[in-house]
Amino acid sequence: MRILLLNLVFILLSLHVEAKPLVLSVIPLQENTTITQEFLPLMSYLEEKLHTTVTLNVAKTYQDVIEAFKNNQTDLVYLGPLPFAILQKSTTSLSPIVTFKQKNGQTQYRCVLVKFTKDSLPKHDKTTIKVALTQPLSTCGYMQTKLLIHEFLHEDLNRMYYQYTGNHDNVALSILRGDFLLGGMKESIAQKYASLGVEILSYSAPVPGLMLIANTITLSQEEIDMIQKILLDAPKDIYQTWGESLSYGMSIPNLNQFNLENFGDLNYTIPKNGNF
């Protein structure tokens, strides 16, 4: 009887053992406070379902997120298509779990070229223009903005003045302050600043949505499948309470959407710093 009771106690205790704590690394799309608010409800939901803790790592740069993943210092990352494509070139230990939908229900989004509505573009020498960028490895950063400027102004970004501002909010604010004439950023974030005078001039081709990606070195396939199922099965009234960019639903990633031509030449060296 004593052995039976001990076995029963062991079984009951084992049911309450927490799973391995998880680390989620995110890209700095907006200010750190905003990012934390975005992800806390999602993290709480995963903690409840997985019976573990989820720690949020808000990196300073996209490169930091990529390096943390490659060094197995993170279990999950939230990445846009360009950082994902770059990470995919250097490791095979990544497994996309879900793509987060946009407000319109689509999984793809667009990058835009913006200016302040009352500002005018120079008619002749466009090389004097100052351009605000997010970060070197941002999907809507250097490479997409370079393509947009080439298509809209028939000019080369490298012949203009450009500087990295850190995130999409900073691009919009620098345009509003008059520090820069043009900027490249995510369409949905630009729209939030439209009432203040941020005007969209040009749109990129659709790019794949931001994804939650698992590290197959630090997580087993069973754990990855479990996380994916938990997220895909999340009720609408639950995920609608998550941060805005995470609140429109999720789908299984469609890697066929990854037309790398939309990102430009990935073999091209992206400047790490601005040119003024």
How crowded is the C-beta side of 228, counted as CA atoms within 13 Å?
Answer: 19
Q: Contacts by 148-157 with C-beta closer than 8 Å and gap 24+? A: 148/111, 148/112, 148/113, 148/184, 148/202, 148/203, 148/204, 149/113, 149/182, 151/202, 152/113, 152/201, 152/202, 153/121, 153/126, 155/126, 155/127, 157/131
pLDDT of residue 234: 97
pLDDT confidence tier of residue 138, bands split at 50, 70 and 90: very high
Over residues 114-137, the mean pLDDT reads: 95
> What pLDDT digit, counting tens, does each position of 4-62 carry?
444 444 444 444 445 679 999 997 665 656 778 889 999 999 999 999 999 999 888 88
pTM across the whole model? 0.82
pLDDT of residue 121: 94
Cβ(141)–Cβ(237) under 8 Å?
no
Cβ(227)–Cβ(43) under 8 Å?
no
Are β-strands 111-116 and 182-186 bridged in parallel, bridged antiparallel, or unpaired?
A: antiparallel
pLDDT of residue 254: 87
Q: 13-17, 75-79, 211-215, 238-242: lowest mean pLDDT where?
A: 13-17
Distance separating alpha carbons of residues 91 and 24, to the nearest angstrom: 18
pLDDT of residue 17: 44
pLDDT of residue 9: 41
| DSSP state string for 46-73 | HHHHHTS-EEEEE-SSHHHHHHHHHTT-
pLDDT of residue 60: 84
How crowded is the C-beta side of 45, counted as CA atoms within 13 Å?
Answer: 24
Cβ(130)–Cβ(163) under 8 Å?
yes
33, 274, 45: which is closest to 174 by C-alpha?
Answer: 274
Domains of the chain: 19-106+208-263 (3.40.190.10), 111-204 (3.40.190.10)
pLDDT confidence tier of residue 124, bands split at 50, 70 and 90: confident
pLDDT of residue 166 exceeding 70, the answer is: yes
pLDDT of residue 196 exceeding 50, the answer is: yes
Cα separations (Å) of 259 from 58, 142, 147, 208, 233? 28, 18, 15, 9, 28
pLDDT of residue 14: 41
> What pLDDT digit, counting tens, does each position of 243-275 carry?
988 999 999 998 877 655 555 555 567 899 999
As a whole number, the mean pLDDT across the chain is 88
Over residues 183-199, the mean pLDDT reads: 96
Distance separating alpha carbons of residues 179 and 109, to the nearest angstrom: 27
pLDDT of residue 255: 81
3-state secondary structure of 180: coil
Cβ(96)–Cβ(149) under 8 Å?
no
